[in-house]
Structure 1
Amino acid sequence: MSRIALIAGEGRLAPAIAAALDQPLVYALDHLKPALAARPFRLERLVPFLDELTDQGVTRAVFAGAIRRPKIEPELFDARTMAIVPRILMGMQSGDDAALRAVLDVFEEAGISICSVDQILPDLVPGEAVLCGAPGPCDQKDAARAAEIVAGLGALDIGQGAVVAQGLCLAVEALPGTQAMLEFARLHAGLKPDPQGAGGVLYKAPKPGQDRRIDLPTIGPDTVTQAAEAGLAGIAWQAGSVILLERAETLRRAEAAGLFLWARG
Structure 2
Amino acid sequence: MSGSAGRTAVIAGRGALPARIVAALEAAGEDPVIATLAGTSPDGLDGRAQEALEVERLVPFFDRLHDLGVRRVAFAGATTRPRLNPERFDSRTAQLVPRLVAAMQAGDDATLRAVLALFEEEGFEIAGTADLAPALLPAPGVLGTVHPDAAAQRDTVRAAEIVAALGAVDVGQGAIVARGLCLAVEALPGTDAMLAQVATLPEALRGAGRAGVLFKAPKPGQDRRIDLPALGPGTVAGAARAGLAGIAFEAGGVLLLDRAEAVAQADAAGLFLWARGPEG
Q: Deviations over 1:159-186 (max 9, x none)?
A: 1000111111111111111111111111
Mapping of residues 25-174 of structure 1, within 5 Å: 25-35=33-43, 36=45, 37=48, 38-132=50-144, 133-174=146-187
From 17, 20, 33, the counterpart of 1:16: 20
TM-superposed deviation, 1:191: 4.3
Q: Please name the residue that 2:8 is paired with.
A: 4
TM-superposed deviation, 1:188: 1.6
Q: Distance in 2 between matches of 1:250 and 1:189?
A: 27
Q: Deviations over 1:101-131 (max 9, x none)?
A: 1000000000011000010111111111111
Conserved? CA contact 1:189–1:230, under 8 Å = no
Give the SS at the match of 1:158: coil
Q: Please name the residue that 2:260 is paired with.
A: 248
Q: Deviations over 1:80-113 (max 9, x none)?
A: 1111112221221121111111000000000011
Gaps of 5+ in 2: none
Compute the RMSD of aligned alpha carbons.
1.2
Counterpart amino acid of residue 80 in structure 2: R
Percent of paired sites with the same residue:
56
Q: Distance in 2 between matches of 1:93 and 1:124?
A: 32
TM-superposed deviation, 1:231: 0.6
TM-superposed deviation, 1:39: 2.4
TM-superposed deviation, 1:250: 0.6
Give the SS at the match of 1:4: strand
TM-superposed deviation, 1:199: 1.1
Give the SS at the match of 2:187: coil
TM-superposed deviation, 1:194: 3.3
Conserved? CA contact 1:205–1:241, under 8 Å = yes
Q: Please name the residue that 2:203 is paired with.
A: 190
Give the SS at the match of 2:80: coil
Conserved? CA contact 1:31–1:70, under 8 Å = no
Structure 2 length normalisation: TM-score?
0.92
Distance 1:194-1:179 versus aligned 2 partners, 3 A rule: closer
Structure 1 length normalisation: TM-score?
0.97
Give the SS at the match of 2:119: helix
Counterpart amino acid of residue 23 in structure 1: D
Counterpart amino acid of residue 271 in structure 2: L
Q: Please name the residue that 2:241 is paired with.
A: 229
From 204, 213, 219, the counterpart of 2:216: 204
Aligned residues between the structures? 264
From 232, 240, 257, the counterpart of 2:269: 257
Segment drifting more, 144-153 vs 72-81 = 72-81
From 180, 198, 203, the counterpart of 2:193: 180
